[in-house]
Structures are given as structure tokens and as C-alpha cells.
Chains A and B, each alone.
Chain A
Amino acid sequence: MGSLTGLLFAGGLGFMLLAVASGLDFGAPPMLIGSEIQAHAPQQTGAANIVTSVVLGYRAIDTLGELSILFASAVSAGLVLGRRHTTAGTQTKGGFILQSGGSLLFPLMMTIGFYIIFHGHLTPGGGFQGGVILAAAFFLPLLARPGARLHHKSLSLIEGFAGASFILIGLFAMLEGKAFLQPMLIQDTLGQLVSAGTLPLLYLAVGLKVGAELASLLSRLIQTEAPQ
């Protein structure tokens, strides 16, 4: 009975939301700030990828908040899962293919990850996507050799300093008399790698932070003991 009500209510809510959404003019958004940003982004941020200029320029503090959320959840997960238990003995090693594949893939993935990060202001992709790939790169050896330990100290160093540098870049702008997180050093070479001033630096910070965060999160997950 209760479940039926739940289903009906969820369906009803969906139907009503749909009815409301049907009042929207799909495909012709007002784009009040969208078109404005589109017009000014190249001059103001120097990034060809306008999404990047929004993420790291116009709404940089959102991104900072988002990094903080990821950090908060990693810290919380650390608090919840407590100190890591080494349960390597109970786990079987990955097969040969996985192992060798892992060691082969590692440099490749690192390269791809950094590539994506550094081209975030030009092409789709950026710190988050690259960061995930970096995390995967770190994580792969762990999957292949469960006994292997990630270097947690260095991970947490990266984690802390990457996040801090994002803020410090922002504060640096303030020192220069500009606003917090204001993009600087914009070159007039749209489409080039060094066109977007501090934006790629920010993305690098994001990428490193996301990568380190996720890697430590995953390793923490994999190293918690399984229930008997």
C-alpha cells in the first residue's frame, strides 16, 4: 500500500513538473548573461573554450566551492573510514595482463591527463576530466597489485598545495589590486596554449587536486577491509 502511494506520488510529481516544464521555451533560452559572456569572454579571460572561461573566470568561486566540497567529502570519508587497514594479504593479485597493462598504461594516462588539463581553455575538457584520468592513472597500479601502497603523504601534499595554490592565485590578484580570483596575464593570442593567463594554472591546480583527492579516496575505499 505504502509503496503504491509512493509510486503514485512520484509519478504525479513527475507529471506535474513536466507540465510546468512544458511552459518553458525550449531551444531558445533567454541567454541574458550567456550571450554577454560569449561576447566578452575572449577579451576578459582569453580562453577559447567559453565554458572554461565561465568555470575559471566568471564563476571561479563556484569552482573553488566545488573543490572544497570534493575535499570535504574526501576528508569526511577519511574520518569515517579511519586509518587505513592493510588487507593486502587477503587479496589476490591481479593477473599478468592487468599488471603489465597497468605499468604500461600509467605513463600514457598521465600524459593524457595533463594534456587534457592544459588544453582545457582551448578544447573540451579541463581540470576535472584530466584530474579523473590522473586519479585513474594512480589507481591502476593499485588495482593490479593490491599490496602496493600509494604514497599517501605525497598525495595529501599535492592535495593541500594544489587547493591552496588555487586560492593563492586568487589572492595574488588581490595583491595586485584586482578582485579576488580575477584572471591575469591574459595574452592576446586566442587559441594558443599560453593565451589564457592564469586560467591554465588554475586548471592545473584543479586537476591536481581532483586527481589527488580521488586517488586517495579510491585507495581508501580499496584498502578498507571487507566484511567477513
Chain B
Amino acid sequence: MSEIELWILLLLAVTMLSAAVMVLLVKNHIAAVAAASVVSLGLALIFALLRAPDVAMTEAAVGVGLSSLILALALRRLGLWRLDGSKTKTNLLEHHVENRDG
């Protein structure tokens, strides 16, 4: 694995891990879904780097595309499709959600 690939890998890893943390910490659900799809995207790229083009394609199609689509649709149906996260606290360290309907 070349030097450049190593750096790309590092960058991807950092991005993915921080996106994963964001998924849990960020207040806005839409942002969380977006962060989740960033994780999937990073994963797809890593798969590509790991000489797994089939898996990369699938991950891109399923993880980034379909899964995000499902989650986004679900957000709408759940009534969580709000761009401002101020009212909803779904914070990792909060135990109670003030806003019941999300």
C-alpha cells in the first residue's frame, strides 16, 4: 500500500469515526442521517481501496443511497424532518426528551 493510500486511509478513518460520533451527538436528526451516510460513503471508499469493488459498489448503492433514502423518508413519516434542531434534544447524554413528538 503506497504512502498516498495510507494518508487517504487515515483521512477516511478520521472522517468516518468523527461522523459516527456526530451521528450520536448531533441534535438535528437530518444531520444525523447525513452523518450516517458519510460513514457509509467512507466505508465504500475504504472498500474500494481494499480491492473490493463489488462490495464498494454495493455499499455505495445500498449504504449511501438506499439506506439514507429510507432513513430520510422515515424522518418525514416520523415528523422529525426539521432543519433546526433547537427543540429536539436527543443528545447522547440526555436521558429525557423534552419534546415528545420529536
Q: Are B76 and A226 in contact (CB under 8 A)?
A: yes
* A193 contacts B by Cβ under 8 Å: no
- The smallest beta-carbon distance between A62 and chain B, in angstroms, is 14
* B18 contacts A by Cβ under 8 Å: no
Q: Are B58 and A226 in contact (CB under 8 A)?
A: no
With beta carbons under 8 angstroms apart, the residue of A52, A222, A225 that contacts B73 is: A222
Contact-residue size bin, chain A (C-beta under 8 Å from the other chain): 20 to 34
With beta carbons under 8 angstroms apart, the residue of B58, B69, B74, B76 that contacts A129 is: B58
Most chain A Cβ neighbours within 10 Å, of B56, B58, B101: B58
* A214 contacts B by Cβ under 8 Å: yes
- Taken together as a complex, chains A and B put the C-alpha atoms of A2 and B21 apart, in Å, by 18
Q: Are B62 and A128 in contact (CB under 8 A)?
A: yes
Residues of A within 8 Å of B65, CB to CB, are: 132, 136
Residues of B within 8 Å of A218, CB to CB, are: 69-70, 73
Interfacial residues, chain A to chain B (CB-CB below 8 A): 3, 49, 51-52, 124-126, 128-129, 132-133, 135-136, 139, 214, 217-218, 221-222, 224-227
Interfacial residues, chain B to chain A (CB-CB below 8 A): 52-58, 61-62, 65-66, 69-70, 73-74, 76-79, 92-93, 95, 101
